[in-house]
Amino acid sequence: MPRPPLDGLVYDLYYLEGAPPYARLMLPPSPSALLIVNLGAPFRIRGGTDIAAAEYVDGCVVTMSTRAFEFGYPPWTRSVGVHVKPWGLAPFLSMPAAELCDRPVTIEQVWGRAAVAELRDRLATADGPHQMLTLLEAELMRRLSETTGLGLVRHTSSVIAATRGAAAIGDLTVAAGVSSTHLAQRFKELIGVTPKRLARTYRFTATVFSIDPAGPIDWGGARRWRGLLRPGSLRPRVSGVHRAHADPVPRGPAAVSA
């Protein structure tokens, strides 16, 4: 777990090495973001609107998504990563989060080639996973920057998270003392989506984890799914759930195969 002030931005940092029990994951939209520094063979990622998967050699940065995306591991993988809260990437980005929504990018595109090469070299030669996580945490602390509107977005998002998306956005806007346009603009800049989209994603995630695959069909639940997945909504293609990315409180890199 990260130290303050990172704990207000990051769920956890993790180290992953070995032969994954799954080669490909279909990750549904979730109220979280992701940063991975890759130290092994390239990942293959296909964004929600991409026709084909692309290789990510140095790692990837994925802001909160509105569409499912495909994540492919090599036969043997090694990486250090960060599970990030929806608003948590903003202080580390050089561009508005909206520009990266549903468009995974390499770390080089965000931090620059020289900086990423130096970081990967230090991580690769570190003395074990604990030191690697310490190095990554120190790098995040060093890059932490002041971000306009972060307090507003973080507080409002935390209320949305606490209610699993049930909070009325209009009431939150009034409580924050800003206009709905201003709040939506800040959310787009720092998270990449509007408050309503964030709330809808929390509701979607809560519905996913309320389903018992071995239990009887809940037709009331099925109606809720139709409401969540109506045209113009999330439109996920869920053939497997990567709990570490889909759960609002990630518990690690375990997953269900796609």
pLDDT tens digits, one per residue of 56-88 = 999 999 999 999 889 999 999 999 999 999 999
Question: Can you give the pLDDT at residue 249?
Answer: 42
Domain count, the chain: 1
Does 37 reside within a domain? yes
Q: What is the mean pLDDT of residues 227-238?
A: 39
Does 258 reside within a domain? no
Residue with tokens 């269900």: 256
Question: Can you give the pLDDT at residue 214?
Answer: 66
- Residue 161 banded pLDDT, cuts 50, 70, 90: very high
End-to-end CA distance of the chain: 28
For residue 15, what are the β-bridge partners? 80
* Most confident region among 16-25, 154-163, 246-255 by mean pLDDT: 154-163
Calpha distance 42→40 (Å, rounded): 6
Answer whether 147's CB lies under 8 Å from 168's CB. Answer: no
Calpha distance 91→94 (Å, rounded): 8
Question: Can you give the pLDDT at residue 51?
Answer: 77
Does 193 reside within a domain? yes
Does 238 reside within a domain? yes
The mean pLDDT value of the chain amounts to 84
Does 33 reside within a domain? yes
Q: What is the mean pLDDT of residues 154-160?
A: 96
Residue with tokens 């009034």: 174
Domain that holds residue 36: 1-250
Question: Can you give the pLDDT at residue 246?
Answer: 38
Does 164 reside within a domain? yes
Flag whether pLDDT at 140 surpasses 70: yes
Does 70 reside within a domain? yes
- Residue 218 banded pLDDT, cuts 50, 70, 90: low
**Which range is least confidently modeled, 1-5, 148-152, 198-202, 234-238?**
234-238
Question: Can you give the pLDDT at residue 22?
Answer: 84
- Residue 1 banded pLDDT, cuts 50, 70, 90: confident
Question: Can you give the pLDDT at residue 220?
Answer: 52
Does 183 reside within a domain? yes
